[in-house]
Each structure stands twice: as structure tokens, then as C-alpha cells.
Chains A and B, each alone.
Chain A
């Protein structure tokens, strides 16, 4: 075993996993690799490094990691040793055999003796999960981390992911199941939307004997492919038969097995439908505003014991990363039009920086329709006490002359001149 120099202060319980504990692997005697969150909501990845049989305790590393590192680790793109090197410091946690904590200390990577370090190939072992039909969407970053989010942001995500899930499940219609999607009421103070997929047999005599478990496994892998793997695929992967990748073929094979269970043949049309379904699902994830209450979204499966098993992490880079993979997004031509002359826009500002003049607003363009746009005000060095701040402070609509910019017919941006 090795000793470490004791440090003065560790933030109370920052190292301790108190919720969302998920064991990726146990060897039957001890948990080898697990994760969870501390009382501050930070994610911790934990790995055993030694069983001190002489002194009757186990030594673990507890590492505070961010969502991106975690996703890369469980998808075997980032090794444990790399995480330790990148993060530079982590906790040594000694646990008695009864699970009680014996000792904790913060150490740097250099203080961890080489023989105890994970090896270069310390990638997450392949672990088996039993997915459920329950998925959750969590808003992360910005004010959502402070347990605040604008109702419109939450509603938008709710709608888009409802449509995403519905579109991805179209293939189930072939197998005699009646599908419905429920949303569970979010827990107060959290921004986790829980979606529950319900499958009921259509009638008394089910023709196709496809176990729900098999469907569920496929759905889970499909979401992982769409949300996590597709961004790293080659362009045109879904556009032409020649471009189909090994990872897509793995999904395809799984669907073929489902067809086999149903004693149906899987043909070219079914494959096209799978690709179309992926395209249609992703179309629903366009235009999510990552500049508001959150800057990324976690999509996870909820295990039978309530832990979140991450499947995908989305941010503003997601759609650009899949754009060239999908025919539906490529076929859109982005036509940009700008107003020739200033016109009156009715706006209600909800975010505004008085120093830069940049912000966000709702623009009213029909009797009862509001849309989000970015606004840019020019001409001054300070924009305090203007119509824009009044609109934001009072929640009122103001009418101001501006030059609008539309992309493919949708108003995206308005520029205003406000001389001194």
C-alpha cells in the first residue's frame, strides 16, 4: 500500500457518492467501477485500486469528472489513466469492508505511485445493462445548474424530445404493439423530464412474438447510435448503401433479429425505413436554443433501480455534426434574406447585455405567434435605460425599427441602430 501526505481542507463530502450510484462492474467480491453524484450534483467516477487484506480495507479512486469525459469513458473513447492525467487531482477513499469510510484524501496524479496507476489501455470494460422503457432528458449548464430554467426552454425541450422519441419508435408499428408515450411530472427543482414508453399488444391474438425486452434493447442501442455515435461517423453514412458503417450495420443486424423473431423478412424497404426514421427523429432536435437556460442536454435510460445510464450528450454542436450524414438536413438549402430597409418589429426582450447591445427576444409576427430571435443593437457604448431594457425589465412588447435577417424563411436575427 502507499501513504499520502495529509492535506488541510477538503470541501465537506465532495468526494462522497450520495445518489445515482451505478455499478458498472463488480467481480462478485467488490465493486470495481461505479459512478454517482455527490451532494453538490457533481459526477464522480470511482475505481478500486487495492484490497489491503492486512489492514482490512479497500482503496478507491474517486474522480470528479464532467459529462463529456464521462460519456467518452463509458463509450470507450477515453481511458481511465487519461482522465486521471487530464484532471490532475482526485480523491483516495479507503472503505472498510462494511462500506464505512475509513480515510479520504486529495492527491495529485504524481502522488499516485506508478504501480497503482491504471494502465494505458484502461478503457471502460464492456458492461451489460438491462434497459427499461423509461428515458430521461436532463437540462444542464447555465442557470439550470442553479435549479432555474425558463418555462419556454423547458417546454421546447419537452416537445422536441417527445417528437424525437415518437419518430424513433415508428418501426414498432409493424409488430402488433400499440405504443404510447407518457411524460412523468418532473421533480420540483430538477430539470429532468422522464419519458415512459408503453407497449400494449394490439389485440388478443398477437401475431408476432417479439419479446418487449428485445425491442427495448434495440431502442436503447438505436438512441446511443443516433445521439452518440452518429456525430463521429463519416459523412454520407446514411445517404448511400456504400456509406453504411460497421456501427450502423450493428444496429441493422439487431433489427434484423427482431424481424426474425417475428418471422418476417427484412428487406431493402425496411432498411430504408430505418434510415428515414433516424432522419425524421433527428429533424426534431433542430433549433434547440442552447443559449438560454442550459447549454447541454443529457439523454439517459433509467434502470430498474432508478439510476440514470447515460446514452447521449447534446449541445449546439450536435446538429452541425450530423448535418452531412442525413439527407433531410442536406436537402435544405439555407437561403438568407435581409430586409432592404428597416421595418417595425414588435419584440419582447428577455435577455440583454447593456454593454454589448446583444441579447435575445421574442418577436411577434402573427396575431398570436411569438418566435425567438437574437437581437443586436449598434451605435452606443452603453444601452442602459433604452426601450430594450424597459422591455426586459417590464416584460412588455415594444415596437422598434430594425433590419431582420431570415434563414430559409425563418427570422433569426434583428439588428437595430440606436444613435447617441
Chain B
């Protein structure tokens, strides 16, 4: 049984998909989250599941991803790669998500899990716990993709 004191009922996990396996509490690592402004809002931390109000067809990987908040882990090894990925996307849609915010989490934010993708090997997901709020996020730096 996991030893974290958090519940995840709002995510309405599908029973056969063990989305939280290998997910951990991590208050040390820093993560990048792209947003449209440099002023973090609740809406910047809504999963596709919350926004759409319904589940997605497909396998467990898709269903779990649908409930996660996309992040990129940021450390000495990954930062130039992560910035490069979003910097390359920026010219396609300069009014879409223009800032990459470097953040860390408190122990009450939820669980994070490595979910690397073919185009972003530094991709992680945050599964918000039921009591998640912006107070569980520490904003370290906000970087404008137009300026990098």
C-alpha cells in the first residue's frame, strides 16, 4: 500500500489501469510547465480529463495521460533540451503557450511520474491529489519563449 496521505478520487481512475504505479512524491526536483501567461492560474493546472469532462477511448497509457498534468523535468542535464523543444514549437503558435515556468511541488501537490514520449524524453506527469491548489506550487522562474 502506498504511504502517501493523499487521495485521488477526483481523477476517477479506471480500475484496470494502475496509473499511480511508479508515481512518487517529489519535492526536490524542478519541472517545467508551459502556460500562456507568466502568472500561474488554476486553469494552468487542469488535466484534459477535467477540461473535457469525460474519459478518452484507448489504452491505459492514454487514459492515464488524460488525467495527468504535462511537465518536463528540469535539471542540469535536461534544461537545454527542454527549452529547445518548446523554443522550436513557439514560432508555429506564438500566441499559444509563451512561457515555460520552472516550478517545484510541496508534499501535498500529488504524485509525479516519468512518462517520456518520443519527442520529449524528459516528459513527466503530475497526478493532482484531491486537495491540490496553487499553494502547493513553488514558482522558481518564468521564462518567455520569445526571449530565449
A-side interface residues toward B, CB under 8 Å? 25-29, 32-33, 47-51, 53, 56, 79-80, 96-99, 115-123, 125-130
A28-B71, A118-B93, A122-B91 known; 13 new pairs, CB 8 Å cut-off, are: A25-B89, A27-B34, A28-B65, A28-B123, A29-B48, A48-B92, A50-B93, A97-B52, A116-B94, A121-B91, A122-B92, A125-B85, A125-B88
A115 to chain B, nearest CB (A): 6
Contacts A27-B86, A51-B96 hold; do A119 and B91 have CB atoms under 8 A apart?
A: yes
B-side interface residues toward A, CB under 8 Å? 34, 36, 41, 43, 48, 51-54, 65, 70-71, 85-86, 88-97, 117-120, 123, 125
Distance of A117 Cα from B41 Cα, bound (Å)? 25
Contacts A28-B120, A97-B51 hold; do A118 and B92 have CB atoms under 8 A apart?
A: yes
Closest to B87 in A: A125
Instruction: Write out the residue numbers on chain A whose beta carbons fall within 8 Å of the beta carbon of B65.
Output: 28
B134 to chain A, nearest CB (A): 15
Cross-chain pairs A/B with CB under 8 angstroms, 28 sampled: A26-B117, A26-B119, A27-B70, A28-B65, A29-B70, A32-B96, A47-B92, A48-B92, A48-B96, A50-B95, A51-B97, A53-B41, A79-B91, A80-B92, A97-B51, A97-B53, A98-B53, A99-B52, A115-B94, A116-B94, A116-B95, A119-B94, A120-B91, A122-B91, A123-B91, A125-B88, A125-B89, A128-B119
Distance of A25 Cα from B91 Cα, bound (Å)? 13
Residue contact B120 to A32, C-beta cutoff 8 Å: no
Chain A, interface SS category: loop
B42 to chain A, nearest CB (A): 10
Selected from A53, A97, A118, A128, the residue in CB contact (under 8 A) with B91 is: A118
B112 to chain A, nearest CB (A): 13
Distance of A330 Cα from B120 Cα, bound (Å)? 44
Chain B, interface SS category: mixed
Centre residue among B43, B96, B97, B125 by max chain A CB count within 10 A: B96
Contacts A27-B34, A125-B88 hold; do A130 and B93 have CB atoms under 8 A apart?
A: no
Instruction: Write out the residue numbers on chain B whose beta carbons fall within 8 Å of the beta carbon of A129.
Output: 118
Residue contact A49 to B95, C-beta cutoff 8 Å: yes
Contacts A53-B43, A97-B52 hold; do A115 and B93 have CB atoms under 8 A apart?
A: no
A408 to chain B, nearest CB (A): 47
6 closest A-B pairs by CB: A28-B70, A97-B51, A98-B52, A119-B91, A122-B91, A125-B88
Selected from B85, B90, B93, B119, the residue in CB contact (under 8 A) with A47 is: B93
Instruction: Write out the residue numbers on chain B whose beta carbons fall within 8 Å of the beta carbon of A47.
Output: 92-93
Residue contact A56 to B123, C-beta cutoff 8 Å: no
Instruction: Write out the residue numbers on chain A whose beta carbons fall within 8 Å of the beta carbon of B91.
Output: 79-80, 118-123
Selected from A27, A117, A119, A123, the residue in CB contact (under 8 A) with B97 is: A27
